[in-house]
Amino acid sequence: MIANPIPWPNGARCACAITFDMDADSLIHISRPVDGFDRLQPISMGRYGPLVALPRILATYARLGLKQSFFVPGWCLERYPETVEAILAAGHEIGHHGYLHEDPTALSAGEHAHWFGRALDAHARICGVKPVGYRAPVYNANQAVIDTLVREGFRYESSLMGDDIPYRLETAAGGLWEMPVHWGSDDWPPFAHYPEIGYMMPVMAPTDGLAASFQEFEAQYEAGGFWMGIWHPFLTGRLARWRVVETWLEQVLAERKVWFAPLRDIASHLDALVSHGRWTPRRDSLPYYDRPQHQR
């Protein structure tokens, strides 16, 4: 049960978004800033995303008529412009995802402003548009991030876990939509194996790893909610896993009342619902806290 289900367009029972975070090899350069540039195995694992997985993903989307959202670090926009061009030419959305996948909670205010702005410059130069959505690298949004997004006029954020369906983040200076994520439909826990950054969990079989995301979908569908996959091209875009996703997509599109859309379109739908008084979102006021809570 969802307390305030959202009326979706055209009688759809559930809004759906596959969001791909195209991190490519940014992860090894940011986590191993001194010697990452010469670690060929993780570089090649990351490059598989834009160079091998993305064409496969875009071909599936074109065949099934889907438009979806991608989050791409600014450095990856610069590094893989042909892939970016293919994403945009097909009508998909690209959101802000840092410059070199910096963890915002590890940055000073000045560093955060620098890298956020440098990523915005890359979007303007390479995509030709200012992004309207943001996902924090490793989901690590903090108050500085939210304040920056509000100041820059972003329409949505997608790193927090406070609800099953989109809700509002409100600050004194303004607000934006939260498109909530969760580890349950993130492909990192089942599929990532990355010794260089200390991640060495066993890799699950494609059907087992994706089952978590698909069960999340079933619950959201039953409740009339919002389902979002938070996936990485170099993980879920690999041959065997994408084959499972393709089969699932074909079934869901044929048999269910779903609305697959880029997050920007879902945000527009929510704006319209609110302005017409057809739905009232839950609102979180930020900051949650203004000081550490374990103080004498």
Contact footprint for Zn ion (CB under 5 A): 21, 23
- Closer CB to Zn ion, residue 76 or residue 252? 76
Instruction: Please work out, in degrees rounded to the nearest 5, the angle formed at the alpha carbon of residue 60 by the alpha carbons of 247 and 177.
Output: 95
In the complex, least distance from residue 71 CB atom to Zn ion, rounded to whole angstroms: 7
- Closer CB to Zn ion, residue 140 or residue 207? 140
Q: DSSP readout, 73-102?
A: -HHHHHH-HHHHHHHHHTT-EEEE--SS--
- Closer CB to Zn ion, residue 14 or residue 228? 228
Let me know: does 50 contact 295? Beta carbons within 8 Å: no
In the complex, least distance from residue 101 CB atom to Zn ion, rounded to whole angstroms: 6
In the complex, least distance from residue 194 CB atom to Zn ion, rounded to whole angstroms: 12
In the complex, least distance from residue 289 CB atom to Zn ion, rounded to whole angstroms: 26
In the complex, least distance from residue 248 CB atom to Zn ion, rounded to whole angstroms: 23
Provide CB contacts within 8 A for 18, sequence distance 6+. Answer: 66, 68, 228, 229, 231, 260
- Closer CB to Zn ion, residue 23 or residue 265? 23
Look at residues 235, 237, 216 and name the one whose alpha carbon lies nearest to residue 59: 237
**Coil, helix or strand at residue 167:** strand
- Closer CB to Zn ion, residue 103 or residue 170? 103
- Closer CB to Zn ion, residue 236 or residue 281? 236
**Tokens 């879902």 — which residue?**
266
In the complex, least distance from residue 278 CB atom to Zn ion, rounded to whole angstroms: 34
Amino acid in position 87: I
Instruction: Please tell me whether the peptide bond between 287 and the residue prior to it is cis, using omega within 30 degrees of 0.
Output: yes
Look at residues 97, 63, 94 and name the one whose alpha carbon lies nearest to residue 81: 94
> Left (φ > 0), alpha (ψ -120 to 50) or beta: where does 19 sit?
beta
Residue at shortest CB range from Zn ion: 21
